[in-house]
Amino acid sequence: MGWAGGHTLVVDRAQGKAGGMGLGFNGGEMIALAIGGCFCNDLRYVAEAMGIQIATIEVDVSIELDGQPSIVTEATLSTHVTAADPAADVGELLRRARSISTVSNSVARGFPVKLVAR
């Protein structure tokens, strides 16, 4: 279980794998969800700034795993976004949202992860 403020999330392994009960997301799924969720939030922020009313958002994130230990080697963010106004520049909305996406930018640039035993 993970907590952030009043929110909780379950991270688990697949049923029967290393004691997993299949009750939550695995690490790879969490990375994909973080990329997609952050991008969806950024779409809303950028749309508001651009004066665009979003009609629909569909986002699918797929990841490729490789190596031992397994690491994500690529993530693909597939989107379908429509605006209430057909003349709205959805392409520019997508470009701007991608450019400010905290999770995608952080993953793409990499960062150290420190382990501190308490």
Residue 86 pLDDT:
95
**What digits encode the pLDDT tens for the residues 72-115?**
999 999 999 999 999 999 999 999 999 999 999 999 999 999 99
Mean pLDDT of the chain: 94
Residue ranges of domains in the chain, CATH in brackets: 26-107 (3.30.300.20)
Phi, psi of 74, rounded to the nearest 5 degrees: -165, 145
Residue 64 pLDDT:
97
SS3 71: strand
Report d(CA 26, CA 78) in Å as an integer: 21
Report d(CA 35, CA 18) in Å as an integer: 26
Are residues 6 and 47 in contact, defined by beta-carbon separation less than 8 angstroms?
no
Residue 21 pLDDT:
86
Task: Give the pLDDT band of residue 23 (cuts 50, 70, 90).
Answer: confident
Task: Give the pLDDT band of residue 22 (cuts 50, 70, 90).
Answer: confident
Report d(CA 59, CA 76) in Å as an integer: 10
Residue 1 pLDDT:
85
More confident site: 15 or 42:
42
Bridge partners (DSSP) listed for residue 57:
81
Tell me the two tokens of residue 117.
């035993």
